[in-house]
Amino acid sequence: MKRVLVIVPFPMSEDNRDQRRAQLGSVELGPDIEFVFESVRVAPKNYVSASDMALAEFGALEAGLKAEERGFDAVCIDTMSDSGMAGLRSELTIPVIGPGRASVLMAMMLGNRF
């Protein structure tokens, strides 16, 4: 079974992470993929300033650095800001994906204007 670490960008309770987990039911995925949702320990209150973005980067980086050692096959950063993606990609050999860039690129492929 393949395991994916899903980094949740804010400290959240298990109930809140369960709500994010429930969204997996709306897409069809292979039966041999396990998604493990874990919250960051450090996050900004808002994403409005450069210092907020730096804190978000640090939080996601810290949350994902040991993913490969822990046996994960990939990391998904669960925020449209893709915080920490570049840093984690530079440190890990497993895939690191974020929904922000992937969503914009998909929209550009499907539409005449974006």
DSSP state of 101: H
Answer whether residue 82 shows pLDDT above 80.
Answer: yes
CB 81 within 8 A of CB 58: no
**Inter-CA distances, 87 with 3, 5, 81, Å:** 20, 16, 13
Q: Is 84 left (phi over 0), alpha (psi -120 to 50) or beta?
A: left
Mean pLDDT of 64-81: 96
Mean pLDDT of 82-107: 94
In this prediction the pTM is 0.89
H runs (alpha helix) in 1-114: 14-22, 50-64, 85-91, 99-110
Per-residue model confidence (pLDDT) at position 25: 87
DSSP state of 47: S
d(C-alpha 17, C-alpha 10), whole Å: 10
Structural domains of the chain, count: 1
pLDDT tens readout for residues 2-60: 999 999 998 988 999 999 999 988 988 888 999 999 999 999 888 899 999 999 999 99
d(C-alpha 88, C-alpha 67), whole Å: 10
Answer whether residue 114 shows pLDDT above 80.
Answer: no
- CATH label of the domain that carries residue 76: 3.40.50.12500
Domain range for 98: 2-110
Per-residue model confidence (pLDDT) at position 112: 80
d(C-alpha 1, C-alpha 34), whole Å: 7
d(C-alpha 78, C-alpha 64), whole Å: 12
Per-residue model confidence (pLDDT) at position 33: 93
